[in-house]
Amino acid sequence: MAADKNYLWWQSGIIYQIYPRSFQDSNGDGVGDLQGIRQRLDYLQWLGVDAVWVSPIYPSPMADFGYDISDYTGIHPLFGTMADFDELLQDVHRRGMKLILDLVPNHTSDQHPWFLESRSSKNNPKRDWYIWEDAKPDGSAPNNWLSVFGGSGWEWDEQTGQFYYHAFLKEQPDLNWRNPEVQQAMFDVMRFWLDKGVDGFRVDVMWHMIKDKQLRDNPPNPDYSPEMATYEKLTPAFSTDQPEIHDIVQKMRQVTDAYNERVLIGEIYLPIHRLVTYYGPDNNGAHLPFNFMLLNLPWNARQIASAVDEYEGALPEGGWPNWVLGNHDKPRIASRVGRAQARVAAMLLLTLRGTPTLYYGDEIEMTDVAIPADEIQDPQGLNMPGLNLSRDPARTPMQWNDAENAGFTTGTPWLRLPPNNSRINVEKQKDDPHAMLSLYRRLIALRRSEPALRTGDYLPVMAEGNVMAYLRKHEDTKLLIVLNMGHQTCYFKPGNMHLQGTVLLATDPEREGKLVQEQIILQADEGLIIRLQL
């Protein structure tokens, strides 16, 4: 990659998320592991990504598939050993790539020694490490807060006669971040991994980490309707996004900044004006508060174009943008917008200004896999039956080839694969210029070679109907991106600009190298990157 002297790796680079249970199994137990990831580093390098973020690999009872951690500085035997981890880190670095770990500081497993101590008696020194409260006089929970995974957020503890709070499962008690000992313990965890050479963290549910001191009731959500998760009945005004969170994030940033070029990413689902506050008042908060706008917006050119403008406009001075199309909690993009539009989405993700994060499998057009009711594993799906909230469909094994179990495992995969993966696999797509994988690879290569795409300015261009258009500009280079987000042929004619250029890259490779002038006829679901002649 051409050197971007003024930009750090996490600004100019591309992040790839691996859900470790589902990437590559190396020992036939049906669950992916660290050696499996190591075996696939050639692929990631060939694809051209710069950094890998791995979802939790720590010891865990797996009530929430690793997001319930019982030891923050160990490796779950399912995934391997600490020696395997060290090898993986070394191999990633040897290839000039970076490794980002998932950090889950909001809650531990109920099997974590800290919680076992905390719940052992009211006088235990770790009692205050979690959020314990008396029942109301009538015996009910301290307030009305709900669990994201359904039901009350409070669990009664018979032995000590108090409730504890859990924003997620009752097996995931929330830590009390108002306690300085908790803060220090988690900062030590960060240092443990940073000392090993890990390149940063994706911080789980950052906006949940601190709650209203008075534990006031959350108000009802006026937009709630019965097909939504029960958690949506209330607006989490007092259980999330509290003013004190910024202090905590700044402290995490200080821990990170004591090391060279490490990144702090925050998982934050909030509206843009709240999201951007997580950059911190002086850019001393999270480097990248994850921007999930593309996951949540309807797939509509006008809405997306104006949301991008709003985001660009809301970023604080020096705040670096970022974009996400998929993750292990949301339906896959190819299922949400369809295969044809997923190609346009790929072009959008890789040409917007800011760090893109790719979700494993999206690059081969994997779709959500229907999981029969009796095979559902995700607690979110199991706890709220009938609402279709299971996240399993987006977490199925990576499809490497057309062998049984797609080359993921020689055993029985922990989640089933789709019945037909003869086309949706790496092997099949890697030499096919029309396949999604080739589109991703070419987009990544172009982003790596064009400073305009990597770090250039973003300038919106007026467009109508289903078309979204913008320029990326660096020195003398101007790239025009035109995306048809609809399924019908249409025209694009920029009102205020003389249009003359060459198609550099297109969702349909046959279009590449063609000249364009004055107006463009866009095929259905077509995206073009055009180098403008100056």
Secondary structure class of 468 (helix, strand, coil): strand
Catalytic residue among 50, 68, 204, 362: 204
- Tell me how far, at minimum, the Cβ of 103 lies from ligand GLC, in Å: 11
Partnered with residue 478 across adjacent β-strands are: 473
Q: Which residue, 267 or 526, is less far from ligand GLC as judged by CB?
A: 267
Q: Which residue, 168 or 458, is less far from ligand GLC as judged by CB?
A: 168
And the tokens for 373?
């009711």
Cβ partners under 8 Å of residue 23, min gap 6: 32, 36, 37, 40, 360, 397, 398, 408
Q: Which residue, 267 or 363, is less far from ligand GLC as judged by CB?
A: 267
- Tell me how far, at minimum, the Cβ of 231 lies from ligand GLC, in Å: 12
Q: Which residue, 9 or 360, is less far from ligand GLC as judged by CB?
A: 360
Closest by CA to 133, choosing from 168, 166, 182, is: 166
Q: Which residue, 57 or 506, is less far from ligand GLC as judged by CB?
A: 57
Q: Which amino acid is at 28?
A: G
Give CA–CA dist 452/471, Å, rounded: 9
- Tell me how far, at minimum, the Cβ of 511 lies from ligand GLC, in Å: 38
Q: Which residue, 33 or 64, is less far from ligand GLC as judged by CB?
A: 64
- Tell me how far, at minimum, the Cβ of 84 lies from ligand GLC, in Å: 23
Q: Which residue, 106 or 405, is less far from ligand GLC as judged by CB?
A: 106
Catalytic residue among 50, 102, 110, 267: 267
- Tell me how far, at minimum, the Cβ of 466 lies from ligand GLC, in Å: 32
Q: Which residue, 378 or 450, is less far from ligand GLC as judged by CB?
A: 378
- Tell me how far, at minimum, the Cβ of 474 lies from ligand GLC, in Å: 34
Closest by CA to 184, choosing from 253, 97, 251, 102, is: 251
Residue 181 catalytic? no
Give CA–CA dist 520/339, Å, rounded: 23
CA 515 and chain centroid, separation: 37
And the tokens for 206?
């950052």
Give CA–CA dist 221/241, Å, rounded: 16
Give CA–CA dist 157/259, Å, rounded: 41
Cβ partners under 8 Å of residue 17, min gap 6: 52, 53, 54, 55, 327, 328, 357, 358, 359, 360
Give CA–CA dist 505/524, Å, rounded: 16
Secondary structure class of 208 (helix, strand, coil): helix
Residue 310 catalytic? no
Q: Which residue, 167 or 198, is less far from ligand GLC as judged by CB?
A: 167
DSSP state of 146: B
Please give the full DSSP string across 470-502, using - where no structure is assigned.
EEEEETTEEEEEEEE-SSS-EEE--TTS--EEE
Question: In this chain, which residue has its C-beta nearest to ligand GLC?
Answer: 67
Dihedral pair phi/psi, residue 116, rounded to 5°: -60, -40
The upper half-sphere exposure of residue 199, i.e. CA atoms within 13 Å in the direction of its Cβ, equals 21
Count other Cβ atoms within 10 Å, centred on residue 405.
19
And the tokens for 140?
């009910």
Contact (CB, 8 A) for 73 and 103:
no
Burial-class residue 273 by CB neighbours within 10 Å (0-12, 13-18, 19+).
Answer: exposed
Interface residues with ligand GLC (CB under 6 A)? 64, 67, 104, 168, 204-205, 267, 328-329
Q: Which residues are catalytic?
A: 204, 267
